Amino acid sequence: MGALAGATMRHIDPGALVENDRVHRSVYTDPEVFELEMERIWGKAWIFVGHESQVREPGQYFATSIARQPIILVRDNNGALQVLFNRCAHKGAMLVGDQCGKVKELRCCYHGWRFDLSGTLISIPLEKGYDCTGFGRGDPQANLQRAPRWASYRGFVFASLSEEGPDLISWLGGAASSIDNMVDRAPEGDLEVAGGVLRFEHDSNWKFFVENLNDLMHPMVAHQSSSLTARSLAKKMLPPDRPPPAAIEILSPFTESYGFFDEMGLHAFDYGHGYSGGKTSIHARYSDIPEYNRRMEAAYGKDRTAEILAVNRHNTVIYPSMTIKGAIQTMRVVKPVAVNKTIIESWTFRLKGAPDELLRRSILYCNLINSSANLVGPDDQEAYWRQQCGLESVASEWVSMHRDAGQDEEIAPGHFYAKGSSDLAFRNQYRAWRGYMVDEGSPQ
Ligand SMILES: [Fe+2]
């Protein structure tokens, strides 16, 4: 904690805020808990930065943030990835003011200090003024500062603001298999970001979103207004002898039965990661795209194709910053802004070698479900906002995660399973939250 922040903040005991089956309301409402999360969770964990397809060529950059700090992902002239703080070494201005682009070097718009693509200071106007000052070229402090660690897993680039901690692959653990499956769905075995990004500002704490994704007791209730309405209109207005339009295929399963969501099941791993679905999910009954199947079989053979496409996961949470849906090639990235403000970015991927229909379906999915101006996502946003307001009350200090507590099944070391209606995902995320927040030295 910074000296000033430490002097002004009261003492918080995060360990007292989480129990096995309930969590204290202040984890969602207290600005000081939020500041501590930025330092101990977002400042330590591997945080998703960008996808390699966004920076394929030297000089291409993508500007993002980690724990609210501006960051640039850039490909340098040697073809290596660099993760740099977006802060001029001179007087602190961000080097890059837009989100993406291509440059030969990084030049500050304010006083013209120039840095190469790996962050080394190249030149200063009227450089002589720095003679004998102890600051200037050759001084590491006069270069752009690098994130302490970064690594890429199958094109997904993560960085950590902590020097220490597990390597990326050990940290991803069983959740890496969801990234594998999304990439394996490409006939050419590679993904690229395509189709733009949707940014959706939520007036609520970041954890409501990451908890919601594997809360399988909410869709059939929260999404009645969108999904059930779409179902009943389709039944009334569409000819029964023709296949339903893609929008109806996408919207309808949100109001499947409790039994359906129970069957999907929940999987949980260390560090808060987990996924729902597997054998089935809300994506399992989308219409076939025969040309896609043909290209997959040409690339992988019949058996391997069947194996890849049989993996039907719903949401995978790579806690705390990234969530993916492999079956529909979408990703949502979490950007906490304040204790009661979060930006959720929705991205879509092109499966390289696949017909365009797949990307079109992913974009349609994001427009229908994840956009701020559409159907399903705003149902969730309303629920998070009501939680944010409701938890300001002193009616109770605790928020429940009791459902099926004590019944989580360890099916492999560190791999827990429960039926879909369980609160397993909540309990697992707070096990990680506690690990990061309580032990200042080492996460989990
Ligand atoms: Fe939802």
| 385 C-beta neighbours (distance < 10 Å), count | 15
The rounded Å distance from CA 330 to ligand 1 centre is: 15
Domain 174-438 adopts which CATH fold? Naphthalene 1,2-dioxygenase Alpha Subunit; Chain A, domain 1 (3.90.380)
Q: What is the largest CA-CA distance in the chain?
A: 84
The rounded Å distance from CA 251 to ligand 1 centre is: 11
The rounded Å distance from CA 386 to ligand 1 centre is: 14
Give pLDDT tens digits for 229-253. Answer: 999 999 999 998 888 899 999 999 9
Give pLDDT tens digits for 149-175. Answer: 999 999 999 999 999 999 999 999 999
Structure token digits, residue 167: 């390597």
The rounded Å distance from CA 222 to ligand 1 centre is: 6
**Whole-angstrom Cα distance, residue 96 to residue 118?**
14
Same fold yes or no, 47-153 and 174-438 = no
Structure token digits, residue 78: 């040697």
The secondary structure of residue 146, as a DSSP letter, is B
Q: Report every protein residue that has its C-beta within 5 angstroms of ion ligand 1.
A: 380
- Of 422, 429, 426, which is closest to residue 404 (Cα–Cα)? 422
Are the CB atoms for 266 and 274 separated by under 8 Å?
yes
Where are the strands (E) in 52-129, listed by range? 60-66, 69-75, 81-85, 100-102, 106-107, 114-115, 121-123
Strand partners, 409: 417
- Please, what's the b/e burial string for 36-50 (b: 16 or more CB within 10 A of its CB; e: otherwise)? bbebbbbbbbbbbbb
3-state secondary structure of 423: coil
- Of 250, 285, 249, 280, which is closest to residue 262 (Cα–Cα)? 280
**Whole-angstrom Cα distance, residue 376 to residue 198?**
14
Mean pLDDT computed over 270-280: 95
Tracing tokens 């109806």 back to the chain, one arrives at: 248
pLDDT at residue 208 tops 70: yes
pLDDT level of residue 373 (50, 70, 90 thresholds): confident
What amino acid occupies position 91?
A: K
Helix and strand totals (H; E) in the chain: 15, 21
* pLDDT at site 353: 98
Are the CB atoms for 83 and 73 separated by under 8 Å?
yes
Calculate the alpha carbon distances from 2 to 64, 89, 215 in Å.
Answer: 23, 20, 36
Mean pLDDT computed over 339-343: 98
Question: Could you name the CATH architecture of 47-153?
Answer: 3-layer Sandwich (2.102)
Give pLDDT tens digits for 406-415. Answer: 999 999 999 9
* pLDDT at site 381: 96
The rounded Å distance from CA 378 to ligand 1 centre is: 9
**Checking phi first, is residue 48 left (phi over 0); if not, alpha (psi -120 to 50) or beta?**
beta
**Whole-angstrom Cα distance, residue 283 to residue 277?**
10
8 versus 244: the higher-pLDDT residue is 244
**Whole-angstrom Cα distance, residue 185 to residue 276?**
18
**Checking phi first, is residue 101 left (phi over 0); if not, alpha (psi -120 to 50) or beta?**
left
| 302 C-beta neighbours (distance < 10 Å), count | 10
- Of 146, 148, 180, which is closest to residue 318 (Cα–Cα)? 180
* pLDDT at site 11: 82
The rounded Å distance from CA 365 to ligand 1 centre is: 13
The rounded Å distance from CA 439 to ligand 1 centre is: 33
**Whole-angstrom Cα distance, residue 119 to residue 104?**
12
The rounded Å distance from CA 399 to ligand 1 centre is: 19
| 257 C-beta neighbours (distance < 10 Å), count | 9
Q: What are the structural domain ranges in the chain?
A: 47-153, 174-438
* pLDDT at site 9: 63
The rounded Å distance from CA 218 to ligand 1 centre is: 6
User: Which range (6-10, 328-332, 342-346) has the least confidence?
Assistant: 6-10
Q: What percent of the chain has pLDDT over 70?
A: 96
**Average pLDDT over the chain, rounded to an integer:** 95
Whether residue 166 is preceded by a cis peptide bond, meaning omega within 30 degrees of 0, is no
* pLDDT at site 8: 58
The rounded Å distance from CA 221 to ligand 1 centre is: 9
Give the chain's radius of gyration (CA, Å): 23
The rounded Å distance from CA 252 to ligand 1 centre is: 13
Give pLDDT tens digits for 127-150. Answer: 999 999 999 999 999 999 999 999
HSE-CB for 160 with a 13 A CA cutoff: 18
The rounded Å distance from CA 350 to ligand 1 centre is: 24
* pLDDT at site 1: 41
pLDDT level of residue 440 (50, 70, 90 thresholds): low
Question: Could you tell me the pTM of the whole model?
Answer: 0.95
The rounded Å distance from CA 260 to ligand 1 centre is: 15
- Of 214, 218, 216, 246, which is closest to residue 230 (Cα–Cα)? 246
Give pLDDT tens digits for 394-409. Answer: 999 999 999 999 999 9
* pLDDT at site 2: 43
The rounded Å distance from CA 30 to ligand 1 centre is: 25
Are the CB atoms for 352 and 186 separated by under 8 Å?
yes
* pLDDT at site 375: 86
